[in-house]
Amino acid sequence: MLGILSLVCCGLLGPFAWVMGGRARKEMDAQPQVMWTNRGNIAAGWILGIVSTVLLIGGILFYVVVFAAVASGNG
Convert the pLDDT of each residue in 35-61 to its tens digit.
778 888 999 999 999 999 999 999 999
With a cut of 60, say whether residue 5 has pLDDT above it.
yes
Range list of H helices, 9-73: 14-30, 39-72
pTM above 0.85, yes or no: no
Per-residue pLDDT, averaged over 14-28, amounts to: 91
Q: How many domains does the chain divide into?
A: 1
Q: What is the number of other CB atoms lying within 10 angstroms of the CB of residue 48?
A: 23
With a cut of 80, say whether residue 22 has pLDDT above it.
yes
* pLDDT band for position 34 (cuts 50, 70, 90): confident
Task: Check: CB of residue 6 under 8 Å from CB of residue 13.
Answer: yes
pLDDT at 19: 93
CA–CA distance from 17 to each of 4, 31, 50 (Å)? 9, 21, 8
Give the domain range for residue 19: 2-72
Dist. CA 12–CA 29, nearest whole Å: 27
